[in-house]
Structure 1
Amino acid sequence: MTVIVRDFRPEDADAVSRVRRAALPFEVTTPRSVLFHVESANPAGKYRLLIAEMDGEIVGTAQVGVAYESGTPGQSYANPQVHPGRRGQGAGGLLLRTAEEHLAAEGAVEVYAWVLDEPEFRAFAERRGYRPTRSAHFQRLDLAGGTLPELPARLPPGVELRTAADYTADPRPMFQADAEVTSDEPSDIGAELDDYEDWLAHTWNNPLLDLGLSTVVLVDGEVAAFTAAHTDGERRYWSGMTGTLRAHRGHGLAKLAKTDSLRRARAAGCTDAFTSNDAENGPMLAINKWFGYEVCATEVRHVRTFG
């Protein structure tokens, strides 16, 4: 059987979503979100969504681009995913090779890729010159059958719970909060969120973001902590980001935000909650363990240096 790799076409969105769900069942994706990320891509990111076809069937995909938000020039990423029933037939290798050629032509110096922490996947990466750097844990919480903590009967003085929907008229306070907590996240590829319009286009307008389920904690009227809820519109919930601004850390505000958001999500019909945290992000791992999240998979970031 012959494998070909080509660029994404809008009519591929359903098939790409199915492949991603099969390859990474703990992530949240929809056809609409697949199309959104292609249509809204910042030109600076040199983004391409590659498609692997085998005898006319879409069997794999890869998200490829330059890390334009990073303060370190030359960083890039390539994340190939192949349907479990189609692995070992050359699709993953061809996707990665095509991605590397694109990135090298755009001046990339390093390319990063997430690899599931299983022998076959790590061997795939190592054979192609990638070395492991850091790991992250996917975690799952049973919203339907689990027990969630209660919200406090009375909030501390000055503390107030809102949702992101309260900021639709002016999302800038959410942008400023996201920029601060994102800059503190442990990662090989740092991100400096300094372009409000770009953030609106790619974060705030993301069709997966559920503003009504995303909780914001205010202290004396200012954003102090938040959790961004992504959903597939059905039963799956994903924590897109949870963070507390530096001046308010250590007071349990992230737990408060997640408690409110998860309870809202369960009331809205979500049955499974997923998240992912860097293995060095001890505070968030501890918070999620406290909620009852259990590790369901681990992925290891790998890097290859060109030249």
Structure 2
Amino acid sequence: MIRTATPDDAPGVVELRAVVHPYLVRGVASTRQMIAEPPPGEDWTAYVAEVDGQVVGWVSAFRNIHTTEPDVGEIALPHVHPDHRRRGLGQALTTRALDHVTALGVRRIRTWAQPDSLPFARRNGFTPSREVRYSALNLRPAPPAPEPPSGVLVHPLAGLDPRRVHRLEAAAATDEPNDVPFERVTYENWVWDVWENLGLDREASTAVEVDGELVSFSLVKRDGDRMWSDYTGTLPEHRGRGLALLAKQTSLHRAAARGIRVAYTSNDEANAPMLAVNARLGYRPVASQWSCLRELP
């Protein structure tokens, strides 16, 4: 049965994700929150495939409101349990998602596909565009705490004014390599997606301050003893000084001290500076996905 997801599906969705895409980290509480209270303005929805009362498939679809490019819709990476593939569930989920975003009046749709799923994406009208690398880092032993340079302060997000952190992320993310520019981050949507996300670890998440200004940061979202480096960024005028490395290594050190044993992250293959930071920290590639685009008449 293919049906609209409900908050009670959250445990099954997280269990499915751990099997299909173990490098994607989102816990039960934040998944339930996402289903029960979708992001404002996104027209977000999700569908599950259910077999004998078990969630064996999942997909979400929504309007992209973080870009000035008009009428962009997105279909998040479909999940189908390996034991239930080749039965048409992936196609049924994708069709429901396509119908939803098409009804929103979008003219361009982006989805994500693993390399072995690219033929499926092409059959549904999508063209592969950009490759994204997923990487993992074992936090046993914990990375050492780095020493900030003179005049540089390092803070946990806990206790900081969220508006300062929002301004930093909005300015740092504008030139990130992407098929769809990430350039419109309203404070209200950022609060929903980041600050009030039930998975955000504000003690491990780190911001770097120079001359009274927040200039770099690294966000940590966790599920038990796993974490996701949600975003690491630096203001353009402060790049090339090792501040992103400082922020991320500090956040990883703090996360390890708080019981996290493995960290995951992702980067566009064209984002050489962050790939270099992750390599220096010891991350190793574990998977890849392709951003795929479909134009509608």
> Could you tell me how far apart the structure 1 residues matched to 2:101 and 2:252 are?
39
Partner of 2:122: 126
Partner of 2:219: 228
Matching of residues 197-276 of structure 1 within 5 Å: 197-232=188-223, 234-276=224-266
Q: Tell me, yes or no, if the aligned pair for 1:193 and 1:199 is still in contact at 8 Å.
A: no
Q: Tell me, yes or no, if the aligned pair for 1:148 and 1:259 is still in contact at 8 Å.
A: yes
Q: Tell me, yes or no, if the aligned pair for 1:40 and 1:202 is still in contact at 8 Å.
A: no
Question: Structure 2: which 5+ residue stretches go unaligned?
Answer: none
The one-letter amino acid paired with 1:151 is P
* Aligned partner of 1:104 among 92, 102, 105: 102
> Could you tell me how far apart the structure 1 residues matched to 2:213 and 2:157 are?
13
TM-score (norm 1): 0.93
Partner of 2:156: 163
Aligned residue pairs total 296
Partner of 1:23: 20
The one-letter amino acid paired with 1:139 is S
> Could you tell me how far apart the structure 1 residues matched to 2:258 and 2:145 are?
17
Q: Tell me, yes or no, if the aligned pair for 2:110 and 2:294 is still in contact at 8 Å.
A: yes
Seen in structure 2, the aligned counterparts of structure 1 residues 33 and 194 have a Cα distance that, compared at 3 Å, is: closer
> Could you tell me how far apart the structure 2 residues matched to 1:223 and 1:40 are?
30
Q: Tell me, yes or no, if the aligned pair for 2:132 and 2:288 is still in contact at 8 Å.
A: yes
> Could you tell me how far apart the structure 1 residues matched to 2:144 and 2:254 are?
12
Partner of 2:279: 289
> Could you tell me how far apart the structure 2 residues matched to 1:186 and 1:46 are?
25
The one-letter amino acid paired with 1:253 is L
Seen in structure 2, the aligned counterparts of structure 1 residues 160 and 171 have a Cα distance that, compared at 3 Å, is: same
Matching of residues 82-93 of structure 1 within 5 Å: 82-93=80-91
* Fraction of identical pairs, as percent: 35
The one-letter amino acid paired with 2:131 is S
Q: Tell me, yes or no, if the aligned pair for 1:70 and 1:190 is still in contact at 8 Å.
A: yes
Partner of 2:44: 47
Matching of residues 116-155 of structure 1 within 5 Å: 116-118=114-116, 121-145=117-141, 148-152=143-147, 155=148
- CA drift of 1:40 comes to 3.1
- CA drift of 1:181 comes to 1.4
Comparing 52-61 with 109-118, greater Cα deviation is found at 52-61
- CA drift of 1:166 comes to 2.0
> Could you tell me how far apart the structure 2 residues matched to 1:12 and 1:42 are?
18
Indicate whether 1:32 and 2:29 are aligned: yes
- CA drift of 1:291 comes to 0.7
After superposition, the CA RMSD in angstroms is 1.4
CA displacement 1:119-150 (0-9 Å, x = unmatched): xx1111112221101010000111114x6345
The one-letter amino acid paired with 2:181 is G
> Could you tell me how far apart the structure 2 residues matched to 1:157 and 1:39 are?
46
Partner of 1:179: 170
> Could you tell me how far apart the structure 1 residues matched to 2:252 and 2:66 are?
30
- CA drift of 1:57 comes to 2.4
The one-letter amino acid paired with 2:45 is R
Corresponding residue SS for 2:256: helix
- CA drift of 1:87 comes to 1.4
Corresponding residue SS for 1:32: helix
Question: Structure 1: which 5+ residue stretches go unaligned?
Answer: none
> Could you tell me how far apart the structure 1 residues matched to 2:209 and 2:111 are?
36
Comparing 192-201 with 69-78, greater Cα deviation is found at 192-201
